[in-house]
Amino acid sequence: MAFIACLLACLTACGGGAKDNNTDSADNTDTTSKTTTTTNESSNNNAGDGKESEGEQKPVAKLSTNIEDYYKIWVKSFKADLEKQSGQKAQEPEVSVKDIANGFLKIDLMRSGITGYNTMTLWAAKNGKTTLGVLNHGCGPICFSGTITFYELEGETLKNVTEKVFPVKEQERLQKLGYEKSKSDKEYSYPGNGYWTILPLNGTTIKMGLAKENTQNNNKKEFKILMAELQYNVADNTFKLVEK
């Protein structure tokens, strides 16, 4: 467990249509950002002095809903952190799954020297706001899901808003509860089984609970005990934790 905690800490430190509907899928872990914000440019300057007329509103930046724009910002910071730690030039990870329409990416980290992968989901609300979620997965050799880091776009930077959306202590509490529940069934100790957090490929809801791999369906995770959902409100870009 000490090794797993250490690996999770490392991943977290390094750690298009977006989500705009409420249709969920059971699993997406095995399907497997300079943001280009746009502004409505206008030249409404006063003749002669170039100043804005009194009461005129400045153009409001429209947030991108293409997850690739957010990835470009994230990966730049990811590589900078690796280079700071190692003192060597970092290799960019590989995007192994890309679903721009659903705002989902899977990023394999092996090329960057990390045994694991990340999944990313972008949510876009009707009020124009967006949230990016990055879930780290450690592998060594058994893969498992870690904690999610949430970001909001500010200018050309990603602001960490995890404590506002889904605090790490809450995520770790559910993980611990899941590990305790898993002791009742030895199959949860098999590789690929146990407590999992899954970001949505389709739909908007994050699911957490005890899952087992379905060997008849490409080893996809299937929840046997759904413990909690983090539900997204598409109207105002907020999330609500619902425990089962």
Handedness of CA 27, 142, 163, 60 (dihedral sign): negative
Q: Is residue 3 in a domain?
A: no
* Residue 44 maps to a domain: no
Is pLDDT of 203 > 90? yes
26: pLDDT strictly greater than 70:
no
Q: Is residue 14 part of a domain?
A: no
Alpha-carbon gap, residue 83 to 72, rounded angstroms: 17
Domain membership of residue 25 (yes or no) is yes
The reply to whether 215 falls in a domain is yes
Domain that holds residue 139: 19-37+60-243
pLDDT given at position 20? 64
What confidence score (pLDDT) does residue 45 get? 38
Where is pLDDT greater, at 71 or 52?
Answer: 71
Number of structural domains the chain divides into: 1
Residue 229 has pLDDT above 50, yes or no: yes
N-to-C CA span, the chain: 26
The answer as to whether 42 is a domain residue is: no
pLDDT at 227 over 50: yes
Examine the pLDDT at 192 and tell me if it is beyond 50: yes
State the average pLDDT for the chain: 82
In a domain, 46, yes or no: no
